Amino acid sequence: MMDLEKIISESIQNIGYELVECEHNHNSGLIRIFIDNGNLISVDDCVKVSNHLNRVLSVELDYDFSRLEVSSPGVDRKLIKLTDYKRFEGEKIKIKLYSPINNQKKFDGKLIASDEKKIKILLSEEKILEVPFDEIQMARLNPDL
Protein backbone atom coordinates (compact mmCIF):
# COMPACT_ATOMS: atom_id res chain seq x y z
CA MET A 1 0.00 0.00 0.00
CA MET A 2 1.37 3.39 -0.95
CA ASP A 3 1.86 6.16 1.58
CA LEU A 4 -0.18 8.85 -0.15
CA GLU A 5 0.87 11.63 2.23
CA LYS A 6 4.57 10.85 1.73
CA ILE A 7 4.20 10.72 -2.06
CA ILE A 8 2.35 14.06 -2.12
CA SER A 9 4.83 15.68 0.27
CA GLU A 10 7.89 14.60 -1.71
CA SER A 11 6.28 15.45 -5.03
CA ILE A 12 5.33 19.02 -4.13
CA GLN A 13 8.68 19.64 -2.39
CA ASN A 14 10.23 19.12 -5.81
CA ILE A 15 8.30 22.14 -7.12
CA GLY A 16 8.92 24.38 -4.09
CA TYR A 17 6.02 23.70 -1.72
CA GLU A 18 5.57 22.16 1.71
CA LEU A 19 2.69 19.85 2.61
CA VAL A 20 1.06 21.26 5.75
CA GLU A 21 -1.77 18.75 6.02
CA CYS A 22 -3.35 15.98 3.97
CA GLU A 23 -6.89 14.66 4.38
CA HIS A 24 -8.06 11.65 2.39
CA ASN A 25 -11.63 10.37 2.45
CA HIS A 26 -11.58 6.90 0.93
CA ASN A 27 -15.40 6.72 0.71
CA SER A 28 -15.85 9.90 -1.34
CA GLY A 29 -12.46 9.76 -3.09
CA LEU A 30 -11.64 13.29 -1.91
CA ILE A 31 -8.03 14.28 -1.33
CA ARG A 32 -7.69 17.67 0.40
CA ILE A 33 -4.26 19.16 0.94
CA PHE A 34 -2.98 22.37 2.48
CA ILE A 35 0.27 23.78 1.12
CA ASP A 36 2.79 26.45 2.10
CA ASN A 37 5.92 27.96 0.58
CA GLY A 38 7.00 30.41 3.27
CA ASN A 39 5.18 33.25 1.49
CA LEU A 40 1.53 33.96 0.84
CA ILE A 41 -0.12 31.16 -1.12
CA SER A 42 -1.99 32.45 -4.17
CA VAL A 43 -4.69 30.87 -6.32
CA ASP A 44 -1.99 30.37 -8.97
CA ASP A 45 0.07 28.35 -6.45
CA CYS A 46 -2.94 26.14 -5.73
CA VAL A 47 -3.60 25.62 -9.45
CA LYS A 48 0.08 24.79 -10.09
CA VAL A 49 0.14 22.19 -7.29
CA SER A 50 -3.26 20.78 -8.29
CA ASN A 51 -2.19 20.31 -11.92
CA HIS A 52 1.10 18.76 -10.81
CA LEU A 53 -0.58 16.32 -8.41
CA ASN A 54 -3.32 15.40 -10.86
CA ARG A 55 -0.61 14.33 -13.29
CA VAL A 56 1.47 12.52 -10.67
CA LEU A 57 -1.44 10.70 -9.01
CA SER A 58 -3.58 9.82 -12.01
CA VAL A 59 -1.04 9.37 -14.81
CA GLU A 60 2.20 8.26 -13.14
CA LEU A 61 0.72 6.27 -10.23
CA ASP A 62 -2.73 5.41 -11.62
CA TYR A 63 -4.16 6.35 -8.20
CA ASP A 64 -7.96 6.34 -8.00
CA PHE A 65 -9.51 9.54 -6.60
CA SER A 66 -12.50 11.62 -7.64
CA ARG A 67 -11.59 15.08 -6.33
CA LEU A 68 -8.44 16.94 -5.37
CA GLU A 69 -8.65 20.17 -3.37
CA VAL A 70 -5.55 22.30 -2.83
CA SER A 71 -5.70 25.21 -0.37
CA SER A 72 -3.55 27.51 1.69
CA PRO A 73 -3.49 26.73 5.41
CA GLY A 74 -4.96 30.18 6.16
CA VAL A 75 -3.97 32.79 8.72
CA ASP A 76 -5.07 30.51 11.56
CA ARG A 77 -3.17 27.52 10.21
CA LYS A 78 -2.73 24.37 12.24
CA LEU A 79 0.61 23.68 13.88
CA ILE A 80 1.35 20.00 13.38
CA LYS A 81 5.08 19.30 13.12
CA LEU A 82 7.92 20.51 15.33
CA THR A 83 9.13 22.61 12.39
CA ASP A 84 5.77 24.44 12.45
CA TYR A 85 6.22 25.31 16.11
CA LYS A 86 9.82 26.42 15.54
CA ARG A 87 8.84 28.56 12.56
CA PHE A 88 6.09 30.36 14.48
CA GLU A 89 7.87 30.97 17.79
CA GLY A 90 6.97 34.49 18.88
CA GLU A 91 3.46 34.26 17.38
CA LYS A 92 0.11 34.03 19.18
CA ILE A 93 -1.37 30.53 19.22
CA LYS A 94 -4.31 28.70 20.72
CA ILE A 95 -4.15 25.09 21.83
CA LYS A 96 -6.56 22.40 22.97
CA LEU A 97 -5.25 19.64 25.24
CA TYR A 98 -6.30 16.03 25.68
CA SER A 99 -6.15 16.35 29.48
CA PRO A 100 -6.94 19.47 31.51
CA ILE A 101 -4.35 21.53 33.37
CA ASN A 102 -5.97 23.21 36.39
CA ASN A 103 -9.42 22.21 35.04
CA GLN A 104 -8.73 23.89 31.70
CA LYS A 105 -8.17 22.31 28.28
CA LYS A 106 -7.99 25.41 26.05
CA PHE A 107 -5.27 28.03 26.25
CA ASP A 108 -4.07 30.92 24.15
CA GLY A 109 -0.91 32.93 24.38
CA LYS A 110 2.42 33.62 22.74
CA LEU A 111 4.50 30.62 21.67
CA ILE A 112 7.90 31.37 23.19
CA ALA A 113 9.78 28.06 22.83
CA SER A 114 9.49 24.55 21.42
CA ASP A 115 11.62 21.42 21.33
CA GLU A 116 11.12 17.72 20.63
CA LYS A 117 9.27 17.17 23.93
CA LYS A 118 7.27 20.31 24.76
CA ILE A 119 6.22 23.84 23.96
CA LYS A 120 6.17 26.92 26.18
CA ILE A 121 3.40 29.49 25.95
CA LEU A 122 3.37 32.89 27.61
CA LEU A 123 -0.20 33.32 28.86
CA SER A 124 -1.93 36.68 29.19
CA GLU A 125 -1.41 36.73 32.95
CA GLU A 126 2.38 36.59 32.41
CA LYS A 127 2.56 32.93 33.41
CA ILE A 128 4.50 30.44 31.31
CA LEU A 129 2.71 27.20 30.50
CA GLU A 130 4.79 24.16 29.52
CA VAL A 131 2.87 21.55 27.54
CA PRO A 132 4.23 18.16 26.39
CA PHE A 133 3.68 17.53 22.67
CA ASP A 134 1.75 14.35 23.32
CA GLU A 135 -0.83 16.35 25.32
CA ILE A 136 -1.64 18.71 22.43
CA GLN A 137 -4.85 17.70 20.69
CA MET A 138 -4.89 20.74 18.39
CA ALA A 139 -2.82 23.89 17.95
CA ARG A 140 -3.42 26.83 15.63
CA LEU A 141 -2.04 30.27 14.99
CA ASN A 142 -4.27 32.89 16.61
CA PRO A 143 -3.40 36.18 14.89
CA ASP A 144 -4.90 39.55 15.78
CA LEU A 145 -7.14 40.39 12.85
- What are the residue boundaries of the structural domains of the chain, listed by start? 4-71, 82-141
Residues 131, 138, 115, CA angle at the centre, nearest 5°? 40
Residue 53: phi and psi, rounded to 5, are: -70, -35
pTM: 0.82
pLDDT in tens, 105-126: 999 999 999 999 999 999 987 8
Q: What are the DSSP calls for 7-45, one per residue? A: HHHHHHHTTT-EEEEEEEETTTTEEEEEEE-SSPPPHHH
CATH class of 4-71: alpha beta
**Does domain 82-141 correspond to CATH entry 2.30.30.180?**
yes
In this predicted model, which residue has the larger pLDDT, 1 or 39?
A: 39
Please check whether the two domains, 4-71 and 82-141, share a CATH topology.
Answer: no
